[in-house]
Amino acid sequence: MEDASVTSENTSKSGPVEAAEPQPAAAVEQRLIDQLVDRAQAEGLQLTGEGGLLQQLTRRLLESALEGEMTDHLGYDRQDSNLRTRLRRPGEP
């Protein structure tokens, strides 16, 4: 089965992007959801089931939330290479 991921790279429409007037957050969120669903359906991606849009969104949401929890718990971002260097024990490479 081909991975037909819906990403920010392949969900934007081509052409110049015009500055939009500020809108309430709920309206923007609903518009983004509608765009994702429309794009998934246009590309033949299932909305539910194995490899579907819902599964992909759920995975990304959980990964992001868990990463945030770990950052809060540890007190630093795990990808902060400077902090890793400073936390090494003396004599470690």
| All structural domains of the chain with their residue ranges | 24-87
Q: How high does pLDDT run on average in the chain?
A: 76
Most confident residue range from 4-13, 18-27, 81-90: 18-27
Q: What value does the mean pLDDT take over residues 15-42? A: 80
pLDDT at 85: 57
Q: What is the DSSP string of 53-76?
A: HHHHHHHHHHHHHHHHHHHHHHTS
pLDDT at 79: 75
How distant, in Å, are the alpha carbons of 21, 68, 69, 76 from that of 73?
Answer: 38, 9, 6, 8
Asked if residue 78 has pLDDT above 60, the reply is: yes
pLDDT at 27: 78
Rounded distance between C-alpha atoms, residue 34 and residue 19, angstroms = 19
